[in-house]
Structure 1
Amino acid sequence: MRFEPGTLAVLIGVSGSGKSTFAARYPSSWTLCLDAYREMATDCAADQSATPVAAEIQDLLLDARLARGLTTIVDSTALMPHVRTKLLARARYWQRPTTAVLFDVPLDTCEAQNASRARVVPARVLYDQHRQLPTTQQLRAEGFTEVRLALAMVTAPAGPGR
């Protein structure tokens, strides 16, 4: 998936839906990840008490990148509308295009992928996250310049020519 230069791409999906795997296809300097900042602050990516500090770090780096017109990928669940609203506001401030990359992955797929991770998210959390998944229409109404589905890229098997 290609992004217009300077785009803010927000990955939106349940834990275990393939967001970080998707982000890893791009230069690491493009990706802002709350889990990484929580881990830097506390030695534990799952420590939710570090989220406010992680969000401050993300905001500083986001502004630095958007001010320079650099393509930026935000790798977090981004399931809560207020989180997306804040990200959209930053992109609007810097006059940058926005792309929502929606990981509309079946819950059972997320559960299977989650089970193979080093840091397993509890099943009830995955269920709650899945219920919060926005629709493409919601994301367009929120103001994303473009909305793309990532389902095919996550669930399609790797093969020749991919």
Structure 2
Amino acid sequence: MVGPPGCGKSTFASRYPASWRVCLDEYRLAATDDMTDQSATPVAARIQELLLDARLSRNLPVLVDSTNVFAHVRAKLLARARYWQRPAIAVLFDLPLKTVEAQNMSRDRVVPPHIVREYHQLLPDADQLYAEGFAAVHPVSSLGVTAVTARS
């Protein structure tokens, strides 16, 4: 998934089996009792990589529940998919900034507005994601839209 904080990624991910989801926030929480503690991101990223490898090596679906707005972060995810010879599919949350800001303010855990704006500006478009190597890009342009169908 690719999108700024507050765009609905975690809500989207919650529609799928919990075993599919890898989430940096959850691993930061496990490491520090605070999912917003950015100092735990390196540890959380290592946990995520271990779980990605475990699932990809078994050809199991994975939903990466983090912003992934930085190209270098997406490059690492694409490298893991290539290593395990699995397609990487992006779910692009390209909602309007006003919608994302309003959604963020209504959450229990509000991300500072300047971070939401910054990450929204970093959001790639579908062409960029294809150029990076994603096999498919599924845009989500409104809250509540399901972009991908779960396997049974």
TM range (shorter): over 0.9
Deviations 1:71-124 (A, max 9, x none): 000000000000000000000000001100000011111111111111111111
Matched, 1:39 2:39: no
Residues 32 and 74 in structure 1, CA contact (< 8 A), matched pair in contact too: yes
Matched, 1:133 2:134: no
1:68 maps to amino acid: R
Structure 1 CA distance for aligned equivalents of residues 79 and 66 of structure 2:
17
Structure 2 CA distance for aligned equivalents of residues 53 and 145 of structure 1:
28
Residues 91 and 137 in structure 2, CA contact (< 8 A), matched pair in contact too: yes
Residues 95 and 142 in structure 2, CA contact (< 8 A), matched pair in contact too: no
Matched, 1:116 2:106: yes
2:16 maps to amino acid: Y
Written as runs of structure 1 = structure 2, the 5 A alignment for 1:98-113 is: 98-113=88-103
Q: 1:152: Cα distance to partner?
A: 3.7
What does residue 149 of structure 2 align with? none
1:90 maps to amino acid: R
SS at match of 2:15: coil
Matched, 1:30 2:20: yes
Aligned-CA RMSD value: 1.2
Structure 1 CA distance for aligned equivalents of residues 143 and 17 of structure 2:
18
Residues 32 and 72 in structure 1, CA contact (< 8 A), matched pair in contact too: yes
What does residue 142 of structure 1 align with? 132
Matched, 1:70 2:57: no
Q: Which runs of 5+ in 1 are unaligned?
A: 1-10, 157-162
Deviations 1:3-57 (A, max 9, x none): xxxxxxxx00010000000000000000000000000000000000000000000
What does residue 86 of structure 1 align with? 76
Q: Which runs of 5+ in 2 are unaligned?
A: 147-152
SS at match of 1:148: strand
Q: 1:155: Cα distance to partner?
A: 6.5
SS at match of 2:89: strand
TM-score (norm 1): 0.87
TM-score (norm 2): 0.93
1:23 maps to amino acid: A
What does residue 49 of structure 2 align with? 59
Residues 15 and 114 in structure 1, CA contact (< 8 A), matched pair in contact too: yes
Percent identical among aligned pairs is: 60
SS at match of 1:147: strand
Residues 30 and 71 in structure 1, CA contact (< 8 A), matched pair in contact too: yes
Structure 2 CA distance for aligned equivalents of residues 59 and 38 of structure 1:
14
